[in-house]
């Protein structure tokens, strides 16, 4: 390993991972376990949705890192009978290897060493997690590039097949459309390639319109929320967690948004100095252009208000 990742202790005594190259901690507020459970598991109502559904439940874990979000999911769902397909993405395997080596110290990873080892060695782990059958796969590489290729392939697909999106897969990797998305990349300032409008447009296109899907992430920035709305998502206020008074939840169905952004937020976004989506993977701050302002006003979330 390169030595990029280190163990650090938070103010509450919890241990977490720090990336020297990005200059950021993972789960810097409450720590890996508590923050993952609150932000991703509870906010997306994963347990309730899995218990109320039938068939395989698919979750995309974007930004696998040290697997804190994935392990929080496994712990929360182990008593739910059914099938879970967990699809993790990251451009490096190093934090996962580091978390496995430091499982006892980190705490959250202890007891999950076997599936983590399988994931590292084979990029897949199939196992029984209590009452739940789990198929966990790891896609190592450039997530924006994968989405872009998926979008290109979909545009070249005959319209007859396009009418049945639930049968399509992500590019050549045969990844099922998700019911929920954990979006946990490093911040836009440090990792802008993961937060551009084209990335979220391609992510929205990868969803199955007939399969309600919700996404949550730790940021509450106007720039992010504007980007998600312009990509096609419905967007709402997310739960507080750690140092964040608010987070963000987005979905392809308004039914999954408990507290949607309203007209007051829209007016604040209009006045914000940082509301223009990034089109390229270069971090910048700018007020919203007239073009994007017009598109935002026409969004179904606001157009009928």
Grouping H, G, I as helix, E, B as strand and the rest as coil, residue 181 is: strand
Does a structural domain hold residue 79? yes
Does a structural domain hold residue 256? yes
Does a structural domain hold residue 230? yes
Does a structural domain hold residue 4? no
Which domain CATH number covers 197?
3.40.50.150
E strand segments, the chain: 5-9, 15-19, 24-25, 56-62, 82-90, 124-129, 132-140, 180-183, 214-217, 234-238, 247-251
Kindly state the tokens that stand for 146: 């994968």
Does a structural domain hold residue 215? yes
pLDDT at 2: 65
Does a structural domain hold residue 42? yes
Does a structural domain hold residue 30? yes
Structural domain boundaries, residue 34 = 25-303
Q: Convert 89-156 into a string of H (helix), E (strand) and C (coil).
A: EECCCHHHHHHHHCHHHHCCCCCCHHHHHHHHHHCEEEEEECCEEEEEEEEECCHHHHHHHHHHHHHC
Q: What is the dihedral of CA 255, 205, 287, 263, to 10 degrees?
A: -20
Does a structural domain hold residue 235? yes
The total number of structural domains in the chain stands at 1
pLDDT at 96: 96
Q: What is the pLDDT along the chain (305 residues), one digit of tens a residue?
A: 568 999 999 988 999 999 999 999 998 888 889 899 999 999 999 999 999 777 899 999 999 999 999 999 999 999 999 999 999 999 999 999 999 999 999 999 999 999 999 999 999 999 999 999 999 999 999 999 999 888 777 676 544 334 333 333 454 456 889 999 999 999 999 999 999 999 999 999 999 999 999 999 999 999 999 999 999 999 999 987 766 679 999 999 999 999 999 999 999 999 999 999 999 999 999 999 999 999 999 999 997 65
């Amino acid at each position: 390993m390169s030595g990029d990742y280190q163990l650090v202790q938070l103010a509450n005594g919890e241990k977490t991972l720090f990336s020297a190259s990005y200059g950021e901690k993972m789960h810097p507020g409450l720590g890996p376990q508590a923050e993952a459970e609150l932000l991703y598991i509870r906010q997306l109502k994963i347990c309730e949705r899995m218990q109320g559904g039938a068939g395989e439940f698919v979750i995309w874990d974007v930004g696998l890192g040290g697997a804190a979000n994935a392990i929080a999911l496994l712990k929360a769902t182990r008593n739910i009978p059914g099938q879970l397909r967990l699809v993790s993405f990251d451009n490096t395997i190093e934090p996962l290897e580091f978390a496995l080596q430091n499982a006892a110290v980190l705490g959250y990873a202890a007891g999950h060493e076997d599936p983590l080892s399988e994931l590292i060695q084979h990029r897949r782990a199939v196992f029984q997690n209590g009452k739940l059958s789990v198929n966990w796969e790891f896609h190592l590489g450039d997530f924006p590039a994968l989405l872009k290729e998926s979008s290109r392939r979909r545009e070249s697909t005959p319209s007859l097949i396009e009418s049945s999106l639930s049968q399509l897969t992500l590019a050549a990797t045969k990844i099922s459309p998700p019911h929920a998305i954990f979006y946990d990349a490093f911040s836009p300032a440090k990792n802008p390639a993961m937060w551009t409008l084209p990335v979220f447009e391609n992510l929205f296109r990868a969803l199955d319109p007939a399969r309600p899907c919700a996404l949550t992430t730790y940021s509450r920035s106007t720039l992010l929320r504007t980007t998600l709305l312009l990509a096609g998502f419905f967007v709402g206020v997310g739960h507080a967690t750690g140092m964040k008074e608010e987070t963000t939840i987005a979905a392809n169905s308004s039914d999954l948004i408990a507290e949607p952004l309203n007209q007051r937020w829209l007016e604040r976004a209009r006045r914000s100095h940082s509301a223009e989506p990034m089109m390229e993977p270069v971090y910048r701050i700018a007020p919203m252009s007239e073009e994007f302002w017009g598109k935002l006003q026409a969004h179904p979330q606001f157009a009928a208000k």
